[in-house]
Amino acid sequence: MKKCFDAEKYLKIQKKKIKERIRMFDKLYLEFGGKLIDDQHAARTLPGFLPDLKIRLLQEFKDDAEVILCINANAIEKSKIRADHMISYETEVLRLIEFLRSKGIIVNSVVITLFNGQKKAQDFAKKLEDYRITPYFHTFTKGYPTDVDTIVSDEGYGANPFIKTTKPLVVVSAPGPCSGKLATSLSQLYHESKQGKKVGYAKFETFPVWDLPLKHPVNIAYEAATADLADKNMIDYFHLEKYGVTAVNYNRDLETFPVLKEILTRINGKSIYFSPTDMGVNVIGKCITDDKAVQRAAKDEIIRRYYRALVDLKKGAVDEAVPERIKLLMNELEISERDRAVATEAVKKREQSGNLPSACIKIGKKYVTGRKTGYLSPISSTMINAIKTISRIPDEMDLIASAVLEPILETKNKTSNFKESYLKIGEVLIALSICSSTNPVVKKALDNLEKLSSAQLHATHMIPDDEMIVLSNLGIDATCDTEIDTSY
**Domain ranges (residues) in the chain:** 7-212+233-287, 341-480
pLDDT for 264-290, tens place per residue? 999 998 889 999 999 999 999 999 999
Query: Is the pTM value of this prediction over 0.85?
Result: yes
| pLDDT for the residue 100 | 96
Give Cα 461 to chain centroid, integer Å: 24
The dotted CATH code for 341-480 is 3.40.140.40
Which runs of consecutive H residues, i.e. helices, occur in 340-377?
A: 341-352
User: Residue 396 and residue 96: Cα distance in Å, rounded?
Assistant: 44
User: Residue 213 and residue 226: Cα distance in Å, rounded?
Assistant: 18
Q: Which residues pair with 69 in a beta bridge?
A: 110, 173
Question: In residues, how long is the chain?
Answer: 488
CATH class of 7-212+233-287: alpha beta
pLDDT for 313-346, tens place per residue? 999 989 999 999 999 999 999 999 999 999 999 9
Positions in the chain whose pLDDT score sits under 50: none
Residues of the chain with pLDDT > 90, as a percent, come to 80
- Phi, psi dihedrals of residue 93, rounded to the nearest 5°: -60, -45
User: Residue 330 and residue 286: Cα distance in Å, rounded?
Assistant: 26
User: Residue 340 and residue 472: Cα distance in Å, rounded?
Assistant: 18
- Residue 30 parent element (H or E): strand 27-32
| pLDDT for the residue 332 | 96
DSSP string, 184-206: HHHHHHHHHHHTT--EEEEEE--
241: number of Cβ within 10 Å: 10
Q: Measuring CA to CA, which residue among 264, 258, 262 is closest to residue 236?
A: 258
- Residue 250 parent element (H or E): strand 248-250
| pLDDT for the residue 94 | 96
